[in-house]
A and B are shown apart, each in its own frame.
Chain A
Amino acid sequence: MMAEAGLAALWFAAALAALQLVMAAIGLRASAGSSTPTVRVDDEKDTAGSVMAAVRPVAIVQGLIVAVAMVMLIGVFLQSDMSVRLVVENSHSAKPWLYKFAGAWGNHEGSMLLWVTILGLAGGAVAVLERRLDERTLIATLGAQAGIALGFYAFLLLSSNPFDRISPAPRDGLGLNPLLQDPGLAFHPPTLYIGYVGISVAFSFAVGALITRDVGPAFARAMRPWVLGAWIFLTLGITAGSYWAYYELGWGGWWFWDPVENASLMPWLAATALLHSVTVLATRDGLRAWTVMLAVVAFSMSMIGTFLVRSGILTSVHAFAVDPRRGAFILALLAIYIGGALVLFAARVGTVRAGNVFDFVSREGALVANNLLLSVILGVVLIGTLYPIVAAGFGVQLSIGAPFFDKTVGPIALFLVAIMGAGPLMRWRRDQGQAVVARMMWPIAATCFAAAGLFVFASIGILPFLGLSLAAGLAVASVAPLWGRNLRRTPLFTYGMVVAHLGIAVSLAGMASDSAFTRETLVAARVGQPIKAGPYVITLDGIRPVVGQNWSALEAQLSATRGESTIVLHPQSRFFANPVTTTNESAILTTWDGQLYTVLGQSDTEGRWQLRLWWKPYVTLIWLGGALIALGGALSLVGRWRRERRSAHRQEAWA
């Protein structure tokens, strides 16, 4: 019954989305008509008013009902209902509880259902929370949101029904890909989806503002929390995904420039640009058309990301099933939404009045430079990601990997970091170049000092060298806005900016340190034979079999000695029966100055075991930085919210 209830809820939610779209359109048309004087003004206004008033509740109910469908899907997975095809194909009754739960979205259909569920709930949240925006713009926003949701409902119901039954029901399921059987599965997809969907809300706001010709600071202030929220979740999702890939895949790398990773990086880059330009629009009323365009671009990137990951065009753990019909469906949605948004933008951009002007040496100027450089990086990543797919269409098979991205993205990103240090130290509207340089004295000194130190004591590649030097400068520059200020009266969102920028410096230092100082050791080790890896001496004490809930494994015992202390590590080679797979479970020792990463390989005829050992100094800074960036975003969000609540109170007090 649960599956049928879920399917019914899904159809019902789709119908409500259609209703929401139609009502928003009727309401907007009628209220637009009422502004021209006619005889029956009152009548029309009433109809428009009552239709528009109903849009909010419909959006809320739609969100709740689609959530019911998601709960039903989780239900059939938890019950291991083997008469549901999706459960059969992706689950197994002997799987641990957590992976039954998270396994509901560890497959194509379930993950698309999670997508629309979050979309529906976000639409409901907009309807409940948003009170400051002009009512017509809000209705247009909710209409756009329903339009997006409708496409995905159609996709689910017509080509990816998650509640399909299978008859006769098999005795048990095929199991979940063991690479996905990790606590990360419970966390990583929902976070990224919240990020993607948050961007779609920002996009809906932009569409709404274009439709009602209302692009201005009020719209920017309504959109900003959604952009910020989406950006926080994207940051967390990417950081978590990177760490998951790092420890799960056993390759010792944290970013592979895999198209699927790029699919999450591109919306993040666009959202980062949007985040900065929306601040200019909200506080300085500049960059109006620009901000709207960025919202369109950011949404396009999250759609392209969904397309790349969900269409099966790419090969990766993320591409669950290869079905060309589904790919064509998502491609059609992509074309309709992006094409429609661009047409709307082109048609209405003329009505967006130019905002305030500013000098090029100013905070706005630095933010424009930030936006341009982020756009260039975005363009390069987009071309590098799509080129192999386009080439495959012409019968040429090639792949674009780290060498391409390092060579192109690396230098631009470092340039961006340099501007990032200067931006927050510049004044709004107009500033003096010399004064900025004077304010930048300490960061520049830190950069030079780090560069000189590295030059003398370490011989490393040019990119890590520049990366570490600039990270030192940026770390100083990012806390510089707090100098000479009363720390208790500094607004929370300023702390947010400081923390987020500091996070970039920390993360950059980790990346550069990892690529400059990592030491890899690959040996076939006998039991008892000491091996040197970085500051550690490692001995293989022995191998023993162990058994888990749905796997068995060979487990090595390694003693890692550094100075006086010895720590024991247990890397495993795991065998899963459903489906039949072997995975490497790396064992990682984290210390304050880096990580020791150990992987167990195969044995040979002489009784030796392959071991792959990495010493990675300060590699943890990469993810620590990512967490700081997200924390900075959260501080800004809370800070903005508190300020707006306070100013709302003040207005009430005045009235």
Chain B
Amino acid sequence: MKAKHQRLTLALLALAAVVGAGLLALSALKDQAAFFYSPSDALRDNPEPGKAVRLGGMVAADSVRRAADGITVRFAVTDGKATTPVMFAGIVPDLFRERSGVVAEGHFNADHSFTATNLLAKHDEKYMPPEVAGAMHETKTLAP
């Protein structure tokens, strides 16, 4: 094989790799991207039950209840306009508290409640998840 041909082949292979990566990523993005909902988005868009999504907002005041098993926690996430009931089994993050921002990873159920597999709270006092900041910007005055 001549050097010129080899160079061309390599360039084509590289191009194929880049295009292949793009196609693979885009096809996987279609069903693997977890969309972010605020409670009022969820009410409006009615997300498919069982699909991995994120729910973000504020933990509603006086909504946190612990079940008798000592592990399951139920609480409500609000964005000031709508409220979604959430169930979570596990140790809540250190910064999880009422009237504080939270992002729940999990899925919606058929009855519009949310089952969380993971909770993300603010990392520190300076930081507010932009998702929450976005969804909360109209209701920020509710924060203490």
Contact = CB atoms under 8 A, between A and B. Distances in A.
A321 B125 CA distance: 12
Contacts of B70: 523-524, 604, 606, 608, 610
Interface string B43-87: 000000000101000000000001001110000000000000000
B28 A368 contact: no
A401 B21 contact: no
Given A354-B4, A582-B94, A608-B70, A401 B123 contact: no
Interface string B122-142: 011111011100100000000
Contacts of B24: 376, 380, 408
A116 interface: no
A599 B90 CA distance: 11
A405 to B, nearest CB: 9
Interface residues of B, number: 47
B125 A612 contact: no
B110 interface: no
B31 to A, nearest CB: 9
Contacts of A321: 126
Contact of A404 (B33, B54, B123): B33
A590 interface: no
A294 to B, nearest CB: 10
B75 to A, nearest CB: 14
A179 B32 contact: no
A354 B66 CA distance: 69
A244 to B, nearest CB: 15
A639 interface: no
A403 B32 contact: yes
B7 A289 contact: yes
A118 B100 CA distance: 40
| Chain B interface, DSSP helix/strand/loop, else mixed | mixed
Nearest to A373: B17
A399 B54 contact: yes
A545 interface: no
A580 B131 CA distance: 23
B123 A179 contact: yes
Nearest to B118: A251
Given A372-B13, A599-B91, A407 B21 contact: no
Given A372-B17, A375-B18, A404-B28, A524 B3 contact: no
| Chain A interface, DSSP helix/strand/loop, else mixed | mixed
B101 to A, nearest CB: 11
B25 A408 contact: yes
A556 B35 CA distance: 38
A283 interface: no
A347 interface: no
Contact of A357 (B3, B33, B126, B134): B3
B69 A400 contact: no
B28 A408 contact: yes
B41 to A, nearest CB: 9
A372 B20 CA distance: 10
Contact of B21 (A178, A383, A522, A582): A383
Interface in A582-619: 582-584, 599, 601-602, 604, 606, 608, 610, 612
B33 A581 contact: no
B69 to A, nearest CB: 6
B7 A354 contact: yes
A243 to B, nearest CB: 19
A565 interface: no
A602 to B, nearest CB: 7
Contact of B26 (A250, A383, A388): A383
Contacts of B69: 524
Contact of B71 (A290, A403, A579, A610): A610
Contact of B34 (A251, A377, A400, A601): A400
A651 interface: no
Contacts of A359: 1
Contacts of A373: 17
Nearest to A179: B123
A380 to B, nearest CB: 5
Given A357-B3, A407-B28, A397 B52 contact: no
A379 interface: yes
B7 to A, nearest CB: 5
Contacts of B123: 177, 179, 315-317
A303 to B, nearest CB: 19
B17 A315 contact: no
B21 A375 contact: yes
A579 B131 contact: no
A601 B29 CA distance: 35
A49 interface: no
A9 B9 CA distance: 51
Contacts of A582: 94-95
Contacts of A317: 123-124
Contact of B95 (A357, A375, A383, A581): A581
Given A357-B2, A387-B33, A579-B125, 9 more contacts: A287-B10, A357-B6, A375-B18, A379-B25, A399-B36, A522-B90, A523-B70, A581-B95, A610-B71
A-B CB proximity, top 7 nearest:
A524-B70, A379-B21, A601-B91, A397-B36, A404-B32, A354-B3, A582-B94
Interface of B: 1-4, 6-7, 10, 13-14, 17-18, 20-22, 24-26, 28-29, 32-36, 52, 54, 66, 69-71, 89-92, 94-95, 105, 118, 123-127, 129-131, 134
